[in-house]
Amino acid sequence: MTAVSTGRGFDDTQNAEVPNICSFDIMNLPKDFVPRAYSYFKALRTDSPIHQNSDGSYILTRYDDLVAVYRNPAVWSSDKKVEFEPKFGPSSLFEHHTTSLVFNDPPDHTRIRKLFQTAFTRKALTALIPRIHNLVDGYLDRLEDQGKSEIVADFSFRLPVEVVCDMLGVPSKDRALIRDWALLILGALEPVLTEKQFKDGCDAVDAFKAYLRDRIRELRTERDPGREGEILTALVAAEEDGEKLTEIELLHQCIFLLNAGHETSTNMLSHGVYEMLRHPDQSRKLRNHPTLIESAVEEILRYQAPIQINNRRATQNTELSGAHIPAGSTVHLMIGAANRDPNQFPDPEKFEISRRPNRHLSFGLGIHICAGNTLARMEGEIAFSKLFRRFPNLRMEAPMQLSNRVRFREITELHVSI
């Protein structure tokens, strides 16, 4: 995976030269797009808010347009069979990404989500709080002992992957496999896919399915399967109106949970540490006013959306802000752009942890709002509270490294010391 080195103040949209977006095309992005994403978003939102690409799809960058799409699933479909068939063909990647909860419409989406939600009850999530506290304390103990850390590997990746693997009963020895498979499967969602990325993604889905089949077999043969907070047991047993998940549905919802459950939280944690270090006035504010932790997490999510792009397909001829969108068209919902729309967020380029209201779209909206949003917020609140209270002099030791991935805003390296 390639990365770009970025230092303090990267992508300063208030002072940066405005990019030319006349020929902007999501299928052939400019080489500087990732480090300058917010400058491009600002230019698109201002000059071409419903922007057509060479393949006939549209880029949406205004907050109100994204909300309109999210709130009307009858017109804007999440089903990706039409879109993914030419991209993936009859492959394991096609099976996974068209079975996952996130890429389904009602009634399948409604049925699967009801079963899936049994894993995210208040009781199940509350049971995880002591574990999250213990994990964070352990990471910070190591940071204190060593005096320095690479935050992504040692902190922001480890916490959510440990939590979600606990929830699915994945043994510690297998957790590196989960990370590798997840990156390959989610990497296949990038707008442009190489042959190697396609093959590696398919192999990862097959390996993941085989692994989960073994785990499910173990659960079904145990006399007393499952522990408090273990989601795999809940999903195996879940039933709504006499209907259970099929084996294929069960496998792919588990893969989706493992992938989504740590990828977005990892990005949130990495960017949160980075932005708080870039804005020492805000980390001081959090230390002086610990009750701001909830709004601080929301601002981190707004300012650096962990997922930058969602997609929908028009099921009929329709209009958005007066623009005609033909049936069958794909729209790319640029979350990072909408989260900095000045019509919704005053002074949107300013990172301000006390910002209220803060109705960002980083978890989506409507029927497809992220099922794990409460867990992600819980992880962020515990992690940031402990980190910045315990290490008030935490500082960056080198420019952070930002992945060239487009759909996910991912920091690959962030070296810090205490």
> How many CA atoms, within 13 angstroms, populate the side-chain half-sphere of residue 70?
25
Residue 127 designated active-site: no
Residue 202 designated active-site: no
Q: Which of 265, 270, 362, 403 is catalytic?
A: 265
Residue 265 designated active-site: yes
Q: Which of 162, 263, 299, 352 is catalytic?
A: 263
Q: Which of 260, 337, 338, 376 is catalytic?
A: 260
Residue 370 designated active-site: yes
CB 336 within 8 A of CB 308: yes
Q: Which of 370, 371, 376, 383 is catalytic?
A: 370
Q: Which of 162, 275, 379, 410 is catalytic?
A: 379
Query: Which sequence positions are flagged as catalytic?
Result: 260, 263, 265, 370, 379
